[in-house]
Amino acid sequence: MTRITADVVGSQKIRIEHYNNLRREAEGASFLMAFGDTNTAKIFVSPGIAHFGGNEVVFAGGSSALISDPTTSDRLDIHYLDSDNALQVVVGTEDDSPSAPTAPIDAIIIAQVYNRTGQEKIDDSDQGGGDGYISRDSRPFLRNHQWELIGKAHLSAAAQDLIDLQSIPAKYSHFRIRAHIKAASGSAAWALRLNNDSGANYNSQRITAATTTLTGERLVNQTSQVLVPSGTIDTNEVLVEITFSKVASGFRANGILVSNTNGVTPESHRYTFVWDNTANLISRISIIRISGSVNLAQDSECIIEGMRGADDL
């Protein structure tokens, strides 16, 4: 990378451009960075370190495979690093105004590349000619304070429980779960449970909005955190997003749970909740059936993400 900063001398004041240039150099020196390869339709990605589910992967640097030319219209591709330490690409769809494809959820996206018909090389930026270029630098600037995928589940057949993620590394203090679930038939109750704790340690406050009606309730000394007010989920899909934190042993976990039920009367529920068990950090997260006998439907799924605490830099 070409150096763009210059020494600040004498009584010269530091200007915005000095700060921005220094930030750009630090970013390029410390993290994976993509460059257009000279005279060829490839990109080069510099060495760097990435994290997948708490596992560190050291990428030695290297070029992408030769990028295929679009045949009739322009195309946007996504280049990313996977957990096997390999540089991969998601090829987009050709269009006069192309849009970017969707990358895998467990990928570290490096760059978005704009490809033109007849291109001979990939430039670092749009040079206004007929060549492709890196249209977006997609790398996160600080991985330690970004969500990292630590678990996922997709039911290929009906099953009793959605996920039971164990042995979560202690470096994660903040968690996010996104799920959509429904019963295969009838109804049963599924709930969030932390560290397999079935004691009376879950307390929450709920507000529910349904058409023009607003209701609420306080739940104390529960054995798990419910996902919907009735506790039971039927064959109508329920969308759930849960965000919670436990910063250290001795502290309670607290969070927010939002769920939307798509029944005859669609409802939106918002919980603020506390897990009163202060003994340990969170090492296990489960969404399990707590009553009833029917299973979750095929294609119910969820992802669980973690974020490191302030001390894990």
Task: Give the CATH number for residue 115.
Answer: 2.60.40
Q: Is residue 123 located within the same domain as residue 151? A: no
Q: What is the DSSP letter of 292?
A: -
Cα separation, 292 vs 211, whole angstroms: 29
Give the angle 108-109-111 at the CA atoms, nearest 5°.
150
Q: Looking at residue 237, which CATH number applies to its domain?
A: 2.60.120
The better pLDDT of the pair 259, 35 is held by 259
Closest by Cα among 98, 96, 77 to 88 = 77
Using the CB atoms, write b or e for 111-133: b if 16+ within 10 Å: bbbbbbeebebbbeeeeeeebbb
What residues make up the domain containing 72? 31-141
Mean pLDDT, rounded, for 228-243: 93
Task: Label residue 67 by pLDDT band (50, 70, 90).
Answer: very high
Lowest mean pLDDT of 146-150, 228-232, 256-260, name the range: 146-150
Q: Is residue 169 located within the same domain as residue 67? A: no
- Altogether, the residues listed in the chain come to a count of 313
Cα separation, 147 vs 307, whole angstroms: 5
Percentage of the chain beyond pLDDT 70 is 81
Cα separation, 219 vs 226, whole angstroms: 10
Give the angle 253-255-256 at the CA atoms, nearest 5°.
160
Task: Label residue 172 by pLDDT band (50, 70, 90).
Answer: confident
Task: Among 99, 126, 141, give the residue marking a domain's end.
Answer: 141
Q: Is residue 235 located within the same domain as residue 129? A: no
pLDDT recorded at residue 2: 34
Q: Is residue 150 located within the same domain as residue 135? A: no
Q: Is residue 102 located within the same domain as residue 196? A: no
pLDDT (tens digit per residue) in 130-158: 899 988 877 654 344 578 889 999 999 99
pLDDT recorded at residue 312: 46
pLDDT recorded at residue 99: 87
Q: Measured between alpha carbons, how far is residue 140 from residues 30, 50, 119, 303 in Å?
A: 11, 10, 28, 20
Q: Is residue 136 located within the same domain as residue 162? A: no
Indicate the number of domains in the chain. Answer: 2
Q: How many Cβ atoms from other residues are within 10 Å of residue 101's Cβ?
A: 15
Q: Is residue 103 located within the same domain as residue 171? A: no
Q: Is residue 213 located within the same domain as residue 234? A: yes
SS3 label, residue 59: strand
Q: How many Cβ atoms from other residues are within 10 Å of residue 214's Cβ?
A: 9
